[in-house]
A and B are shown apart, each in its own frame.
Chain A
Amino acid sequence: MARVTLENVTKVFGEVVAIKDVNIDIADGEFLVLLGPSGCGKTTALRVVAGLEKPTTGNVYIGGMLVNDVHPKDRDVAMVFQSYALYPHMNVYTNMAFPLQMRKHPKREIDERVRRAAELLEISELLKRRPKELSGGQRQRVALGRAIVRNPKVFLMDEPLSNLDAKLRVQTRIELKNLQKRIGTTTIYVTHDQAEAMTLADRVAIMKEGEVQQVDPPTQVYAGPANRFVAGFIGSPAMNFIEGTLVTREARLMLDAGEFIVPIDTSLSEAIKRLEGYEGKTVTYGIRSEDVAVGSSPFDGGVEVSVFGTELMGSEQFVHARAGKSLVVARAPMTFRVSIGDRAWINLTSSNAHVFDAKTGRALV
């Protein structure tokens, strides 16, 4: 177990900046998820920690020791690859024993540790099989087994569940979380799947174009996104964004979106008023679907919208509506009756809403 620190790490491939000035401090035993769209640099960051890539500038520390020039084999990290990277010519037992053989552990100890790890992962009966004789889920367990068998300081996982079918993925991610808590090893986990990030992580680091946007616990990332990118990336359906200008009408702060006006919740407006030059400022107003109130008849403060789609999700439904130039998704109970083309009314004022600088995307409150 160890603390892992990336300090101003930049990695450049030719002319492409894969990661830029990354600073993340991962506590001992923490489960950190690197989350972001394809090409955001999350895998590069992981490979830098593994030692498979050398940072162009910046430092990587594992357990307080600077490891920039330490060979991957001497970093005492274990990695689970997206492809599992099981050695096809070895059986499960030898695959799991390999890291211990490389470290010259005595035969008896190797045997003991492989069998213990196999038991923990419930793959004891597969030990004699070759990888090609295993299902995707079993291969994934063997890859995990190979990682945990030698009790490394850090686990590095590169989208290890992405090749599993949806049902198995959900089941495995819960098991993985429990396993990590039981073993207590510091884990860095790369994924582009936000559901995986939210369920597994102690903290999530969201990346975009090589830069870390925010590092916070999942609830904080969801409830208090640092910028518009994070707000839009986390949550399903994505947060609603409405462009507009901050104006004061009848002593109340409002968002003038052109075709309609949204009164800003008092708790937010107090905070905005403390900012300099807010009046007349162009901003992006963000509100999640569950904070949008929707009704089929006019109500006080309701903005009239036209419904252009509904998605039934089981106990609830997503109502897609057009409000002026903006598209808004509202969450409504299953019993809410509305059809495509109907008029509906929505209330966009909420204390959970967010206001972002229209230019920089930074959260103002």
Chain B
Amino acid sequence: MIPQPKSSAKVLSVVKSAFKHLFLIVMSIVSIYPVLWVVSTAFTPGETLATGWTLVLGFVPVPTSPTLEHLSFVFGWKDFGLWLTNSALVTSSTVVATVAITLPAGYALSRRNFPGRSQAMFSFLLPQMFPGVVTIIPQFLIFATLGLVNNYLGVIIPYTVSSLSLSVFIMKSAFDSVPKDLDEAAIIDGASEFKAFRRILVPLTLPHVATVALWAFMGSWLDYALAHVMLSDNSLWTLPLALYSLIQPNYTLFGTFAALSVIMAVPVFIVFMVFQKYLVSGLTAGAVKG
């Protein structure tokens, strides 16, 4: 016979699990609902919101007569190609710069003991202590002096710097988790310090590198505020600026707005799907010893 306490423990665990699932389902709906809304709007004729839908299951908005007119309008938009190129250029430069700086910086903080090491670590944390918007105006003034306003560098540099704060710490903890014996073994095996870094440390911390790259990608691909201040020249716009231009004081092209939002979300979606596994392990790695 099964003892009484065990069976009540089983019931309790089923109830707990049910509550957990219920909570997750509710949270998922709350998160997904606005996205469904935007996607439906992108495929619904006209430029209005919340009309021309049928609600499936009582809450999933599905266009009654789906259309591709908004998507084709966006793709046909005169400067869309230019803005897409700008966004791609700014984002890829930010990602490359972030990874290129973060890897050696994380390595130095993890493996080298140099004067000012703790101050250097603190300085990387500093930008995280203020809301990003607060520093936009001083940044604009400095960049204006340097002639970097209306220049790709005017956004690439701040995007890179702001993604460094967390990224350097992620890489430092990633390198910390790799036993020093491995670098030393590689060095005795005939590798230079750089080769040991490239052949041993970097491959072992790839999930973290992926996390760092994604962090930089998201920060620059989706930013509006800084780009709005730094890039007033229409030919240098990135996609978020183009998106915002659809909101006018007297009218908003909601259908087109939603279509562009969907287009902008596609790369993010793909990147997340591809790197999902790495991203989770990268963000949690180093949290638990052993």
Contact = CB atoms under 8 A, between A and B. Distances in A.
A150 B191 CA distance: 14
B181 A73 contact: no
Contact of B190 (A50, A73, A87): A73
A115 B135 CA distance: 61
A78 B186 contact: no
Interface stretch (A96-104, A177-185, A240-248): A96-104
Contact of A79 (B188, B199, B200, B204): B188
Interface of B is mostly: helix
A199 B200 CA distance: 35
Contacts of B192: 73
Given A88-B204, A89-B203, A73 B179 contact: no
Interface in A71-104: 71-73, 77-79, 81, 83, 85, 87-89, 98-99, 102-103
A103 B184 contact: no
Interface string A302-316: 000000000000000
A85 B191 contact: no
Contact of B182 (A50, A71, A87, A150): A87
A52 interface: yes
A71 B192 CA distance: 9
B188 A98 contact: no
A146 B185 CA distance: 10
Contact of B185 (A85, A89, A103, A150): A85
A98 B181 contact: no
Nearest to B203: A89
A77 B187 CA distance: 11
A51 B184 CA distance: 10
Nearest to B185: A85
Contacts of B179: 83, 85
Contact of A81 (B185, B190, B199, B204): B185
A78 B182 contact: no
A72 B190 CA distance: 8
Contacts of B181: 81, 83, 85
Interface string A36-68: 000000000000001110000000000000000
Contacts of A71: 187
Contacts of A87: 182, 185-186, 200
B189 interface: yes
Given A83-B179, A89-B204, A73 B185 contact: no
A98 B203 CA distance: 14
A99 B190 contact: yes
Interface string B140-161: 0000000000000000000000
Nearest to B195: A102
Nearest to B182: A85
A98 B186 contact: yes
A153 to B, nearest CB: 12
Nearest to A156: B188
A77 B181 CA distance: 15
A329 B192 CA distance: 54
A13 to B, nearest CB: 11
Contacts of A50: 184, 188
Contacts of B195: 102
Nearest to B191: A102
A72 B191 CA distance: 9
Nearest to A79: B188
B161 to A, nearest CB: 31
A217 to B, nearest CB: 29
Contacts of A77: 188
A25 B189 CA distance: 24
A79 B183 CA distance: 12
A52 B189 contact: no
B204 A72 contact: no
Contacts of A98: 186, 189, 199
A98 B191 CA distance: 9
Interface of B: 179, 181-182, 184-192, 195, 199-200, 203-204
Top 9 closest A-B pairs, CB basis?
A102-B190, A85-B185, A99-B189, A85-B181, A73-B190, A81-B181, A79-B188, A89-B203, A103-B190
Interface of A: 50-52, 71-73, 77-79, 81, 83, 85, 87-89, 98-99, 102-103, 146, 150
Given A78-B189, A88-B204, A146-B189, 9 more contacts: A51-B188, A52-B188, A73-B191, A77-B188, A83-B179, A87-B185, A98-B186, A102-B189, A102-B195
